[in-house]
Amino acid sequence: MKRKMPRLLLAAPASGSGKTLITCGILQALVNRGLKVASFKCGPDYIDPMFHGRVIGTKSRNLDTFFTDEETTRYLFLKNTEDCEIALAEGVMGYYDGLGGVCTQGSTYEVACVLDFPTVLIVPCRGASLSILATVRGFLDYRGDSHIRAVILNQISPMIYTQLKPLLEEELGVRVLGYVPKLDDLNLESRHLGLVLPGEIEELREKLNRLAGKLEETLDLDALLALAEESEELLADKPEIPTIFKPEHSAGINPDFGSRTAVEGNVHSCDTCSLRIAVAEDDAFCFTYLDNMELLREMGAELVPFSPLKDDCLPEHVSGLILSGGYPELHAKELSGNAAMRSTIRDALKSGMPCIAECGGFLYLHRELEGDDGNFYPMAGFLDARAYRTDRLGRFGYINLCAREDGLLGAAGTTLRGHEFHYWESERCGDTFHVKKPVGKREWDCVVGNEHLYAGFPHLFLWSNPEAAYSFLKKCEEYNRC
């Protein structure tokens, strides 16, 4: 696969610099101009891609050089931009901040290097003027191949901007693509935990359109598009992927996987495929890497969405189950009230139906779950344990997983990459996988598993080991034949 794809990466010196707000505003402005835009978020983030898909309407994915090697990262980028005119990526944390905060591996900068991204540094300017040049120079010079080609000055007055722009361009040789004034009335507070309720969408779209209109005034979007056009051609080979079935034709996954209506008829679309996998997909279970779903589909699976909140049974003729992460604790009362679905899922797992349950999905399988309101509610009851709230993040960040015994995702020794992020804890975290942090000495056992089950807090990125995804589908195929 070889293609010239106009692209830009928006980065910042640190979190809290305003890059998410500005990225959303630019995305909306490009969509308003009639461009077909692909958006990306660096790092293990579900919330921003979900927000981009639901509210802005872009095709949104993740870019993560810890999860995937350089070749696979380039392949996924090119694959996910095939039908687009421009790609815009948002960085994570500070530009050079990588694993453990002490190296550039897994950083936004590494993504820029692997994908040869022209990078725009968003510089927070509150309380500073000439010192801004020192900040920019530091980021330009810290690595000789910084990829930083331009800057946007954030939270700065028009007067100071007009004074600093020529200094930045003349002294540092970096393009200045405009500024963003302080915008107190255009924040995105409604993105609470990434949840977007149906009644909020129009209000958020109106707010983003106002933001886009403001950025059309203060940013040089034509120069930004011209910079994207300077991107070099990318080349990537398609990884070898084992298949259960080979569909005669393929259909991509709708970028708005958070909308059940949008998914139906788009994800499960292979006429020759008989391996149907039920995928939980609603406001309680919405943390799903779309690249994971596309990998399963490419291997021959038919992905069928269902709602543990609203439906009373699993879809017909399914041979496997995926319970993604999300917010079951915020919907504990409603999930508990759907006794028919809880019973259906418990019986399916008791019959040996293969199941991947990550984080929120893992919580749902417990006997009881403490809701966000402090009350305990009955859940599916497949795992005889309680899940409860804590006052801190128990385990956070990237992890390397290794299977301690044969199981659903492969033989003992099978490795995968993923991450954890959760305030809830379990009385039964399991011990079928051993986990190590990529930096430091911390390690632990986790995951309740066997030949038919993977249930634990780690979120998996299946492209880190496609054979694990294949093993899951093979177990589903065996169950289908029984």
What is the CB-side half-sphere exposure of residue 254 using CA atoms within 13 A?
A: 18
- Are the CB atoms for 260 and 279 separated by under 8 Å? no
pLDDT for 246 equals: 61
Cβ-proximal residues to 164 (8 Å cutoff; 6+ apart), any chain: 129, 130, 132, 133, 153, 156, 176
Length of the chain: 482
3-state secondary structure of 403: strand
Q: Give the span between the Cα atoms of 388 and 383, in whole angstroms.
A: 14
Q: What pLDDT score does 255 carry?
A: 41
- Asked if 12 and 95 touch (Cβ cutoff 8 Å), the reply is yes
Q: Which of 48-57, 116-125, 209-218 has the lowest mean pLDDT?
A: 48-57
Q: Find tokens 């990526």 and name the residue.
A: 89
pLDDT of res. 258: 44
- Give the integer Cα–Cα distance in Å for 297 and 303: 7
Tell me, rounded to whole angstroms, the distance of Cα 82 from its chain centroid: 19
Q: What is the mean pLDDT of residues 13-30?
A: 94
Return the bridge partners of 447, or none: 430
Q: Which two tokens stand for residue 218?
A: 């203060």
For residue 112, give the H/E element and its range.
helix 108-114
| Residue 122: closest CA among 76, 161, 91, 88 | 91
Mean pLDDT over 124-136 rounds to 96
Average pLDDT of the chain to the nearest whole number: 91
Q: Angle at CA 298, nearest 5°, toward 295 and 304?
A: 80
Q: Is the pLDDT of residue 133 over 70?
A: yes
Contact 109, 146 (CB under 8 A): yes
Given a cut of 50, is residue 467 above it in pLDDT?
yes
Q: pLDDT at position 482, please?
A: 73
pLDDT at 266 over 60: no
Span 267-289, pLDDT tens digits:
444 444 479 999 999 999 999 99
- pLDDT at site 46: 84
Give SS3 for 257: coil
**265 against 77, higher pLDDT:** 77
Q: Residue 146 has which token pair?
A: 């910084």
**Nearest-10 Cα torsion for 268, 269, 275, 279:** 0
What's the DSSP call for residue 315?
Answer: P
Residue 200 banded pLDDT, cuts 50, 70, 90? confident
Q: Are 179 and 161 in contact (CB under 8 A)?
A: yes
For the cut 70, the answer to whether the pLDDT of residue 254 exceeds it is no
For the stretch 142-177, pLDDT in tens is 999 999 999 999 999 999 999 999 999 999 999 999
Q: What is the mean pLDDT of residues 134-141?
A: 98
Structure tokens given for 56: 């802005």
Mean pLDDT value across residues 211-236: 97
Q: Residue ranges of the alpha helices (H) in 401-465?
A: none
Residue 187 has pLDDT above 80, yes or no: no
Residue 355 structure tokens: 């199941």
* pLDDT band per the 50, 70, 90 thresholds, residue 188: low
User: What's the confidence (pLDDT) of residue 313?
Assistant: 96
Active site residues: 359
3-state secondary structure of 360: helix
Rounded Cα distance, 4 and 229, in Å: 9
pLDDT at 251: 39
| Short-list 252, 247, 275, CA closest to 262 | 252
Better pLDDT: 260 or 334: 334
pLDDT digits (tens, 9 = 90+) for 53-97: 888 999 999 999 999 999 999 999 999 999 999 999 999 999 999
Cα–Cα distances (Å) from 230 to 4, 235, 385, in that order, read 9, 16, 56
How much is the pTM? 0.92
Tokens 């935990």 found at: 193
Instruction: Give the contacts of 252 (CB within 8 A, at least 6 positions apart).
Output: 83, 266, 294
